[in-house]
Amino acid sequence: MKTYTLLLFIALFLAYSCVQDKHSKTIHFKINMKQIHNISNVGLRGDTAPLSWNETLLLTDEDGDSIYDGEIQLNSASYDIEFKFVNQDTIFELQDQPNRSIRFEYKPEKIIYEATFNNPNSEISKTK
CA pair distance 40, 32, nearest whole angstrom: 13
CA pair distance 83, 68, nearest whole angstrom: 16
pLDDT digits (tens, 9 = 90+) for 37-77: 999 999 999 999 999 999 999 999 999 999 999 999 998 77
Poorest-pLDDT segment among 17-31, 46-60, 89-103: 17-31
The mean of the pLDDT values for the chain is 89
pLDDT range class, residue 19, cuts 50, 70, 90: low
